[in-house]
Each structure stands twice: as C-alpha cells, then as structure tokens.
C-alpha cells in the first residue's frame, strides 16, 4: 500500500455541520477501568508473589524488561481481553499498561511479542530461554490465594472437579483425538471451590477424565489442612470421576474426605429402581408433568469397587420417557437425605460449568506452543488472570448488580472505559469518558477496594 501521512479526514457532512476526524487526541486508552484491577491485586498480592514462582537466569546487567513487569503485562493483558502475544507489539507503548505492569518510566516501551514469547517457551534452550517456572510453586500459590481469601476458618469446603476440552488446530505435542468431543484436543483438569480456582492441570486427551485427580486432590487437601486441620472437605464431580482409586483415597482414615460423584447408569441399577420408575411413570400419566421419585440403596459393582457404597437414585419420567440418575456418596442419610442430596447438593456442581466457560473468556484455549510445558504455562496465565478477575468480583462487586457477572461482562462494562491519559512529572491523570453509564457502580467498586 502507498504510505500515507494524512492525519485529518473530512467525512460526509451532517446537515449543515462538517464532520472531521484527526489523530490529535494524544494518549487515549480503551481500558480506563483497569486501575480497579490493580487495586484488586493490591488486596491479594497475586502479582507480587508470582515472580517467586520463576527462576530468572538472565544476566542482570543486560536485562531491559524485568520479570515481574513481563508477568504483570501478560496477566493484565489477558484480563483486559488481549489474547495474543502479537497484541503486545502495539501495547508495549501503552502508558496505562506500563503503569499496571509497574514500569517506573512510563514513556519507555514494554516487552514486545518476541521477548514475551521467550518467557513462555520456558527453558527450551540454555542460550535464549533462561527463565523457567516451578509448577509446584504455581499450584501452591493458587491454593494459598484461596485459603487467604477467608477471614475466618470455614467449617466445610466443597471441591468441584471437572474436565473440559480445549480443541487443537495445529500439531501440538501429545495431540490426540477424543471421541466424546469429536475433535483433537487437550483435556485439562480443573478444581474449584465455589468461584475460586485451585487447580488447572493440562493433560492430553488420551487420558481418563479422572487421571491425576488423586494426586491433585491430595496436594490441595494437605495444603488446606496445614491451615485448617479440622475443616470438613467434600469432593463433588460427575460420573467421569467415579473411580475406585479416588473413592478409596477419600475413605482412608488419614484423609477424612467425603464425596458425591455421579454414577453412570447400567442395567443392574435400572432393575434396582424398577419399582420407583414404575411409580414415576404412573404419576406422570396422571398429571402430565415430569415426575420424580427418589430412593437410595447400598450398591457394589461386580469387580471394580472394593466395598458397597451408598447410592442415591432419581427415578424420573418425562414426556420423552425414563430419565434415571444416580449419585454415589460417602455422606450419610443424617447429613443429607436422598432428595436434598441430589437436588440441593449434587446439582449445584453445574455452576462450575460457568466457571470453566470463564476460563475460555480469558483465553485458556490459546495453547499453540510446541511443548507441553509452555502450554501449561499459558494455562497458568489464564488461571491467574481469572483469579485476579474473581478477586475484583468478590472484593469490589459484592452487593452490586454485577456481583455474579461473568468475567467478560465485567471486562466490557467496568474495565473498557474510554480515557485520555495525561502524564506529567508529578501525576498520572485519567480523564474518563463523561457519558459512561455506570459511574455509581464504578465508584462503589473503587471505595470497596480502597477501604
């Protein structure tokens, strides 16, 4: 294309008014609300501790971009919707992102895409990739942030486990086809407690859904019990995690962990609840509405289970026919009656699906490096960006109409505010858009985070 130096543009007139545009506004940002994220980070000190999870082997005298600044640049970038390293080639001259990243001289450029890429290709070569991370330290940081978020010791916590698919479109390492998802993908394991993320473990798709769950759960439980020795812990997951190894681990006396897992239906289970299903069918025929009958019984598989366990069954009959569901649990009938266990406790795990969707809003699916370690680091970055956004929601948005908003809604309505950025020797001033419609919510979040 012909190089053009034109800076003023005359558009079609609006009645008697001329319509003109020019690149003369100075430093303008679309992320005027991002300083609220910075205040949320001050509350939980996430980025302040993240650098300790890395080892920087670069020669200090030759380092232009400090490791904490690069990590902050990457995490804030994801939170603000910049998914790709290519975005940072333009963002490196953004003074607002420089402020967020902790750069002292705001007129100096941030790290570009090549520098950030060497950070993410951690440890590949001794000459060019001298920054490496500790997965154990990152895992511990996520659990520490969860523990520290509680002002008082809880009596009970519920850990939700689930796997999801991250489709692959290149030839990434350990790329396998998954029949259920009908695509080549990775199959990461996520563990949440409520809205808070405790584990994001990348796995290839040729693994069982529960693969590695015992190791992850035992690590988290041990860390939680270091601080809260008497807390009651319950695992909750779908039938993909109903495995003898995990249930037996929970039942050991030295672990003291309860569980409620979905149990896949089979002919034996169908026969056991035959009377209840008949009752539900008769009730449906008489009312014309969906009918449910709950029951429970002791059940043991023919070979895979080591002992009989309590199973809660929902015999449901719909217009389309039978719809039985089963849950195996270590919780007693005194703690949870059958119907309440299924409807009020087990079904609540569906909320975790929304939390996993939020990971994709923070680009957890951008796993295109050619090493699993690099892709795991990208998954960590997405998890940490989510943790920062969740802290903003939990600490700043509590009691507002956005208290349960998803992260993409928070980003669009609270962070994406047009602003003029004025920088002087003594001050950095953001002149936010005057017509911004949610000024009251912005003020409420500001005061909540600054108190």
Give the pLDDT score at 432.
95
Closest by CA to 449, choosing from 15, 40, 26, is: 40
CB neighbours of residue 121 within 10 Å? 18
Residue spans of beta strands (DSSP E) within 134-255: 156-163, 166-167, 176-178, 183-186, 189-193, 196-201, 232-237
pLDDT of the residue at 1: 54
User: What pLDDT, on a 0 to 100 scale, did the predictor assign at position 2?
Assistant: 59
- Read off the tokens for 182: 């009908």
Tens digits of residue pLDDT in 249-284: 999 999 999 999 999 999 999 999 999 999 999 999
- Which positions of the chain have pLDDT values less than 50? none
The strand ranges marked E within 164-290 are 166-167, 176-178, 183-186, 189-193, 196-201, 232-237, 257-262
Neighbours of 36 (CB within 10 A): 22
Instruction: Read off the pLDDT of residues 385-437 as tens digits, 9 standing for 90 and up.
Output: 999 999 999 999 999 999 999 999 999 999 999 999 999 989 999 999 999 99
**Residue 195 near residue 394 (C-beta atoms within 8 A):** yes
- Helix, strand, coil percentages for the chain (3-state, nearest 5): 40, 20, 35
Q: What does DSSP say about strands 183-186 and 196-201: parallel, antiparallel, or unpaired?
A: unpaired
Can you tell me the distance from the alpha carbon of 301 to that of 265, in angstroms, rounded to the nearest whole number?
A: 12
Q: What is the pLDDT of residue 428?
A: 93
Cα–Cα distance for residue pair 398/444, rounded to 1 Å: 10
pLDDT at 129: 84
Q: What DSSP assignment string belongs to 120-142?
A: HSTTS-TTT--EEE-HHHHHHHH
**DSSP states of 51-98:** GGGEEE-S-GGG-SS-HHHHHHHHHHHHHTT--STTHHHHHTT-HHHH
Token pair for 366: 């951008």
What pLDDT, on the 0 to 100 scale, is given for residue 280? 96
């Amino acid at each position: 294309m012909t190089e053009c130096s034109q800076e003023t543009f005359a558009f079609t007139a609006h009645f008697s008014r001329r319509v003109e545009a020019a690149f003369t506004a100075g430093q303008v940002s679309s992320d005027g609300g991002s300083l609220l994220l910075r205040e949320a980070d001050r509350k939980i000190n996430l980025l302040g501790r993240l650098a300790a999870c890395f080892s920087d082997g670069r020669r200090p005298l030759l380092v232009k971009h400090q490791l904490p600044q690069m990590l902050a640049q990457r995490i804030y970038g994801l939170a603000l919707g910049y998914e790709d390293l290519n975005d940072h080639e333009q963002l490196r001259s953004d003074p607002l992102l420089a402020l967020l990243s902790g750069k002292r001289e705001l007129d100096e450029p941030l790290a570009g895409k090549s520098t950030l890429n060497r950070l993410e290709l951690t440890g590949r070569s001794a000459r060019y990739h001298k920054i490496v991370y500790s997965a154990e330290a990152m895992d511990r940081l996520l659990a520490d942030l969860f523990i520290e978020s509680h002002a008082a010791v809880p009596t009970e916590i519920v850990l939700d486990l689930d796997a999801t698919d991250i489709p692959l479109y290149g030839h990434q390492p350990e790329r396998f086809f998954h029949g259920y998802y009908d695509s080549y993908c990775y199959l990461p394991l996520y563990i949440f407690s409520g809205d808070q993320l405790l584990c994001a473990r990348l796995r290839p798709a040729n693994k069982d859904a529960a693969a590695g769950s015992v190791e992850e759960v035992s690590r988290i439980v041990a860390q939680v019990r270091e601080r809260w020795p008497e807390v009651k812990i319950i695992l909750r997951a779908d039938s993909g995690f109903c495995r003898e190894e995990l249930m037996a681990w929970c039942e050991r006396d030295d672990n003291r962990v309860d569980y409620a897992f979905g149990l896949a239906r089979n002919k034996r289970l169908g026969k056991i609840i035959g009377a209840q299903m008949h009752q539900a069918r008769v009730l449906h025929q008489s009312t014309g509405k969906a009918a449910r009958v709950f029951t429970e019984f002791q059940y043991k598989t023919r070979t895979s289970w080591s002992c009989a366990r309590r199973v809660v069954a929902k015999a449901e009959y719909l217009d389309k026919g039978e719809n039985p569901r089963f849950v195996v649990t270590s919780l007693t009938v005194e703690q949870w009656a059958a119907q309440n266990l299924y409807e009020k406790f087990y079904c609540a795990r569906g909320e975790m699906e929304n939390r996993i969707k939020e990971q994709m809003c923070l680009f957890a699916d951008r796993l295109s490096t050619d090493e699993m370690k690099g892709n795991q680091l990208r998954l960590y970055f997405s998890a940490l960006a989510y943790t920062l956004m969740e802290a903003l929601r939990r600490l700043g948005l509590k009691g507002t109409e956005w208290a349960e908003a998803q992260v993409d809604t928070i980003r669009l309505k609270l962070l994406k505010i047009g602003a003029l950025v004025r920088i002087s020797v003594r001050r950095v001033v953001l002149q936010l858009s005057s017509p911004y419609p949610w000024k009251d919510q912005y003020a409420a979040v500001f005061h909540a985070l600054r108190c």
